[in-house]
Structure 1
């Protein structure tokens, strides 16, 4: 995933009202930007953190700039735009670069399921003899301590719990069901459920895995112009 324009650096003043952040740019000016993250952003929204913004190049937009990356602990880049992991995973699926998904398939975005939607469905050619594969993507950016262990979620998530239940039902109906943790944080080398934040989610994750739902986690490579889904990392269930 490459940004159309170079990212702009600044320093975080504060994040507020969930979707807004005030940023101080290199020239000393201050602007308000869109923050596309509904989570707590724990450890990713510390005042004076180095941040990177994307420019919509649309001066008519209420908030022309969007908060994309933050530097955590003054050494790790992390992507706080929760819309980016889905794009990274979609690009990897289309490029056939995730080894766990092989064959002649078409990628369907946001397929409908009984009580809502999931992120992707892979529809296979008849010759493959496979039922559809359903994939739900979650972004992991919470590094509680500098030990490489990333936790999900960073706040109680009723929506995430519902996604686990949907995946389990689909698996029970004979489909392949996969939860894919996308990890756009340079300091995270493995992932586990944040049972200290949302014990109900952690318990549900363990239960659906025992019943056959698959869980994967993939790290992300940052460069000056964008990001790429990199390689698989362990998940501690």
Structure 2
């Protein structure tokens, strides 16, 4: 996916989940943060960040904050809407007969429902922005919603679906995403149950530029017990 325009800035602070203060060449701006996660290891005062100006009429802020460069030099796309865009671009190349985004299933709205012949697929997408010592981790904050989605995927397997959890890695050089059990042990437990039930886990490796997030490679073949 591509952004129409990019402006570099320096991160100052984040008063709440939705906005941040940054310094651009034209002065201090209040910007919308396109990620409501904690992102504490990313949004550090003085960090180099990148903004896009969507130009939507009636907006309270001119810019969205979409990417940040960590202290180790790693450029991270932190736009929480970007993973679904990248996955849709990928799915469109795979020859499915039907692709439906935002599909209602059980008590959840799953990111994608697909059909290929008589086969039915359900997919949930998670973006990974947390990197520790060269490995990706998810989540960066407790996510009861994420646990519920995993249980819905387990249920889907029992009903004959091919159920898939897709992690979109929003940075370069990271090949897998492990459950952040120190942050949310229940997510790790739910993921292990899902793997044992037959839910497939896919990692989408991506290349990040300030103005783009591009799918590069698919890594899969994950089985129960892989992260133990």
Q: Is the 8 A contact 2:171 2:206 kept in 1?
A: yes
Partner of 2:99: 107
5+ residue gaps, structure 1: 97-102
SS at 1:68 equivalent? strand
Of 118, 122, 136, the match for 1:129: 118
Q: TM-score, normalised by structure 2?
A: 0.92
Deviation per residue, 1:161-214 (Å, 9 max, x gap): 000011010111111100000001125232111111111110110111011011
Deviation per residue, 1:106-158 (Å, 9 max, x gap): 1101001111210001123xxx232x10000001111123xx21110001110
Deviation at 1:24, TM superposition (A): 0.4
Partner of 2:15: 16
CA RMSD of aligned residues (A): 1.6
Q: Is the 8 A contact 1:178 1:213 kept in 2?
A: yes
Deviation per residue, 1:7-36 (Å, 9 max, x gap): 100000012210111010134x00000012
1:3 is the counterpart of 2:3: yes
Partner of 1:174: 160
Deviation at 1:52, TM superposition (A): 0.4
Deviation at 1:59, TM superposition (A): 6.0
Structure 2 Cα separation of the partners of residues 85 and 3 of structure 1: 14
Q: Is the 8 A contact 2:98 2:115 kept in 1?
A: yes
SS at 1:165 equivalent? helix
Structure 1 Cα separation of the partners of residues 190 and 53 of structure 2: 39
Matched residues, number? 223
Structure 2 Cα separation of the partners of residues 108 and 210 of structure 1: 27
Q: TM-score, normalised by structure 1?
A: 0.89
SS at 1:16 equivalent? coil
Q: Is the 8 A contact 1:139 1:181 kept in 2?
A: yes
Q: Is the 8 A contact 1:42 1:142 kept in 2?
A: no
Structure 2 Cα separation of the partners of residues 115 and 18 of structure 1: 26
5+ residue gaps, structure 2: none
Partner of 1:100: none
